[in-house]
Structure 1
Amino acid sequence: MEKELDTQEFIYTYASSPEERSLSHLEMRSFFSMESPYNIIKSTVKIDPSRSPFIRERIEVLYAGDELSDILEQVEEIDMLDKTFKIIFIKINDLEKEAQIEYNERRLMERDLGARIHGEADVHNPAHIFGIVAYGGRWYFGNYRKNEAVWLKHIKKPREYSTALSTRVARAVANIAVPHPEGVRAIDPCCGIGTVLVEALSMGIHIEGRDINPLVTEGSRENIAHFNLKGNVTLGPIADVTEKYDVAIIDMPYNLYTHATPEDQADILRHARRISDKLVVVTIETIDEMIEKAGFEIKDRCVTKKGYFSREILVCY
């Protein structure tokens, strides 16, 4: 039997479509400095599951053991006092068949665990939720938190155009650029209507927006205000930026509203090198050579697809 409290651990489960798997894994690597071949990962890094469009839920580990009996014994320490509780068995769909546990057995485990906890169980409206999961040949039990899918509230914006990033991709890009926001200053110097800005600001990331098109900067400010967020969006080219930032996020201009030649793109990257230590680029074209000429080194990358349309996301230092 083992009680894991010396170093806090967290277990996260993931869900993504085949088209978004590469993006999901890049976000995972950005958060945890590693990835998992399954839709589950254990880490000492604490991330709010609602930040990610791919994390489904999180268990903050209280107890761990080699056998379920170890967990049954340890949960007897829990006294809920006047709070009701519920236990959820976390099912991981992509584990090997022999590692999966059938529905009736999962419900029985939940009841057995609940019977050992001092307090009143309430499956419909509990004050507190615990999670139990089997992973890597061990059992883990702890506080459960579900993803609230915040980004779904941002899909419909007052100002939109068709080539903007989807809300899910924009949120993942913001996480890849700024996985740990404390003390980090970010800029989106080609912010368009602010899809990335809205997602970043909603997660507490300190980010500023900028664009050369007055119509889209106006739209960006309107979208930010619509969701009761506060962020600074200025008008002008990246060449006029004089402040230094920890990271820049650039969705390379390519649409009808912003005609960017290869020379323009190279200029944007060159100035990004001047004002930022890290760069996350979203591009529909291969621009590796251009990025290297600007003085960046590509450290990680992924491809995200929507139908026949693909975007590449590059992490550069």
Structure 2
Amino acid sequence: MNDFNLDLLSYIYTYSCREDERSLCQLEMRAIFGRDIETSILESSIPIDPSRSPFIKERIDVIFKGTCLEDIALRLKKLQTVEATFKVVFVKNDDLGQDEKIGFKKRREIEREIGLQINGEVDLLKPELLFAIMKVNEGWIFGKYIKSEAIWLHHQRKPHQYSTALSTRVARAIVNIAAPNPNGVKLIDPCCGIGTVLVEALSMGMDIVGRDLNRLVIPGARGNIAHFGFHAEVTLGDIRDVTENYDVAIIDMPYNLCSVLSKEDQLEMLESARIFAKKVVIITIETIDSIIEKAGLVIVDRCVAKKGGFTRQIIVCE
């Protein structure tokens, strides 16, 4: 397998999102990869687990690029034997024009033709390795294939629910926006509610703690975290009383009938966050730019997340 590991050229990610999610999807792209795209395919030198994002469908670790399938086949013939069982998957490119799209029967034929060029044992049912072949505008690419798992979808079945909580899909994207490179990063969700953000961050191995002023939601947050086998500190307390320092704070501004905040309270919350966190990601249903500025925070990026007639703003501040 060394030949496959030594010749990696780049990583191809395929994306899928609804139109009302595009703004959020693109902000996540900018956070992780430093740029966004209008197409469904992003190429980068940055490797991330595709299951981190609710919008990434799969990742191809590109080994070969060729102008035609014959170029790919010739290079595959020269490689040493693959020790593990494998399968070749044809990955569809939704950006191709209608006249360039390849039908189901032809895709299966290409999988078989490419698979026959690889020295090793094919296993169509339970392969140890997956390889991908994909048509792009410049020709063809071949590489290792990693399919994304919709982990966030499993987290929808949490035992404790809250009517105004973020969806697990949106929460997962926000966590990636907050900590695109999470190694060594300490996060806090000081208005954690029933722990939707906490569960998504913990499922990605992030170092995060939760806090909330509402004593009624603390047991639910702890219960949801424990339900999925995670562990994190969740304490009762006001954001204005946080004394430890964190790299990032994710603040979903309270807005339900029991948590009506005055502009003065909002300002105090954000002023406190500016003191204990280097970076602040704010989720709000109101336009609070003037309050953010008054708190001494600088807006560096933003997007909107829509669901029906309901719109949230996600604002990244430093």
TM-score bracket for this pair, using the shorter chain length: over 0.9
Q: What SS is found at the alignment partner of 1:59?
A: strand
Per mean C-alpha deviation after superposition, the further-off stretch among 307-316 and 133-142 is: 133-142
Equivalence for 2:76: 75
Cα distance between partner residues in 1 of 2:166 and 2:80: 46
Paired residues of 1:213 and 1:258 also in contact (CA < 8 A):
no
Cα distance between partner residues in 2 of 1:102 and 1:144: 21
Instruction: Tell me the amino acid that sits aligned with residue 35 of structure 1.
Output: D
Equivalence for 2:107: 106
Deviation at 1:305, TM superposition (A): 0.9
Cα distance between partner residues in 2 of 1:133 and 1:7: 16
Percent identity reads 54
Deviation at 1:218, TM superposition (A): 1.9
Cα distance between partner residues in 1 of 2:229 and 2:96: 41
Instruction: Tell me the amino acid that sits aligned with residue 79 of structure 1.
Output: T
The correspondence of residues 269-308 of structure 1 with structure 2, limited to 5 A, is 269-308=270-309
Deviation at 1:259, TM superposition (A): 2.8
Q: Does 1:145 align with 2:158?
A: no
Cα distance between partner residues in 1 of 2:44 and 2:194: 35
The correspondence of residues 203-282 of structure 1 with structure 2, limited to 5 A, is 203-282=204-283
Residue-by-residue CA offset, 1:4-59 (whole Å, 9 max, x unaligned): 95665111101111111111111111110011221110101111011111100001
Give the unaligned 5+ runs of structure 1.
none
When normalised by structure 1's length, the TM-score is 0.94
Per mean C-alpha deviation after superposition, the further-off stretch among 5-14 and 20-29 is: 5-14
Equivalence for 2:155: 154
Paired residues of 2:132 and 2:143 also in contact (CA < 8 A):
yes
Cα distance between partner residues in 2 of 1:94 and 1:138: 13
Cα distance between partner residues in 2 of 1:68 and 1:280: 46
Instruction: Tell me the amino acid that sits aligned with residue 106 of structure 1.
Output: R
Residue-by-residue CA offset, 1:112-150 (whole Å, 9 max, x unaligned): 111101122222222211011223414221111111111
Residue-by-residue CA offset, 1:142-176 (whole Å, 9 max, x unaligned): 11111111111110212111110001000110011
Q: What SS is found at the alignment partner of 1:108?
A: helix
Q: What SS is found at the alignment partner of 2:217?
A: helix
Distance 1:309 1:38, change over 3 A: same
Q: What SS is found at the alignment partner of 1:121?
A: coil
Distance 1:103 1:199, change over 3 A: same
Q: What SS is found at the alignment partner of 1:158?
A: coil
Cα distance between partner residues in 2 of 1:16 and 1:97: 20
Deviation at 1:71, TM superposition (A): 1.2
Q: Does 1:314 align with 2:315?
A: yes
Equivalence for 2:180: 179
Cα distance between partner residues in 2 of 1:35 and 1:204: 25
Cα distance between partner residues in 1 of 2:307 and 2:173: 15
Root-mean-square deviation (CA), in Å? 1.7
Distance 1:131 1:154, change over 3 A: same
Cα distance between partner residues in 1 of 2:221 and 2:92: 40
Deviation at 1:243, TM superposition (A): 1.4
Matched positions, count: 314
Instruction: Tell me the amino acid that sits aligned with residue 259 of structure 1.
Output: V
Residue-by-residue CA offset, 1:192-241 (whole Å, 9 max, x unaligned): 11100000011011111111111112211111011110111111111111
Instruction: Tell me the amino acid that sits aligned with residue 141 of structure 1.
Output: F
Instruction: Tell me the amino acid that sits aligned with residue 30 of structure 2.
Output: R
Q: Does 1:188 align with 2:189?
A: yes
Cα distance between partner residues in 2 of 1:169 and 1:190: 16
Give the unaligned 5+ runs of structure 2.
none
Cα distance between partner residues in 2 of 1:135 and 1:33: 22
When normalised by structure 2's length, the TM-score is 0.94
Paired residues of 2:9 and 2:64 also in contact (CA < 8 A):
no
